[in-house]
Amino acid sequence: MLDVLAITGPIYLAIAIGYAATRAGLFAKADMQVLGRFVINFALPTLVFRALSTRPIAEVFNLGFLLAYALGSLTLIGAGLYWARRVRGMDHTAATFHAMGMSCPNSGFVGYPILLLTFAPVAGVALALCMLVENLLLIPLLLAMAERSRGRAGPWHRVLGGLLARLVRNPLVIGIVAGAAMSLTTLRLPDAVMRTIDLFAAASGAVSLFTIGGTLVGLALHGLGGRVAPIVVGKLLLHPLAVGGALALLVALGVPAPSAELRTAVVLMAAMPMMGIYPILAQAYGQQDTAAPAMLVATIASFFSLSALLWLLQHGLRIG
């Protein structure tokens, strides 16, 4: 167990330091938005580019990984919508953000640092594959559903055009496309450029975790019970189970299985707490009173759930 705590301990200590520094006034909470933009616009895109550009394209775009992550996440979206609408009787907007909380992990700010300590050789590739699914499928789908619930989606071609316009400007998507293009060629960037990219990429882990800690300052632990607990359980327990089940189903159907490390990585990514922008997206639709405490509780609870999952992996749990 001490070996597991040696992995998860630094992750959550870095989050705690970010929380303490912001709570003590060394940083304003608004500073976390600046740090977050640095991570999203520079650190993570360079990290993804570095991971993809230095590997063969066949190794990078692993079909089994992509399908398992997409299928498992879509399953949770469907389950979350069904539970919120049919069981709890929520309106479509509230149900959409319950489903988002259950199915969109914090793969960049929390998932990558944990994979870097556990499965470093595949951490960058796993991050790029997860972000490909999240940015091209999950988040656009959920936001389109939220817009339609307010009657503002408009014709499908206008929605698609707006989505594509946002995607081509997204630094993470640019990093994925550029890295994949480099992977397809024999070209290599000059050493000075690659070292610069490495500098920005190396900053992603610590700054991401510090930012998450600072973001948690001021979030109130209210509205637990029926509203928050199912989102937390869905995210930390049901999502990795759904992705693991999708992986097993795909292998049974004859889809080539990812490597053992990538199989473990895709389930670990699904076990992360929800993405840091979850309360921000929810605020635009009046759902922040549920989203913010859900993210706080999930981030705290994930220390125990991830430690338990890593302990099981160390003691013989096999995935796929």
| pLDDT score of 156 more than 80 | no
Per-residue DSSP letters for 28-49?
A: -HHHHHHHHHHIIIIIHHHHHH
pLDDT at 233: 95
Dihedral in degrees, nearest 10, Cα atoms 60, 208, 162, 178: -30
Residue 278 binned pLDDT confidence (cut-offs 50, 70, 90) = confident
Q: Which residues pair with 105 in a beta bridge?
A: 274
**Structural domains of the chain, with CATH:** 2-314 (1.20.1530.20)
Q: Hey, is 242 helix, strand or coil?
A: helix
Q: For position 163, what pLDDT does the model report?
A: 63
In this predicted model, what pLDDT tens digit does every residue of 4-46 receive, in sequence order? 677 777 878 888 899 999 999 999 988 888 888 888 788 878 8
**91-134 tens-digit pLDDT:** 889 999 999 999 999 888 788 888 988 888 888 889 889 988 88
More reliable by pLDDT, 49 or 316: 49
Distance CA 12, CA 5 (A): 10
Query: Crossing angle for the helix pair 156-169 and 139-149, nearest 10 degrees?
Result: 140
In this model, does residue 199 exceed pLDDT 80? yes
Question: Confidence band (pLDDT; 50, 70, 90) for 64?
Answer: very high
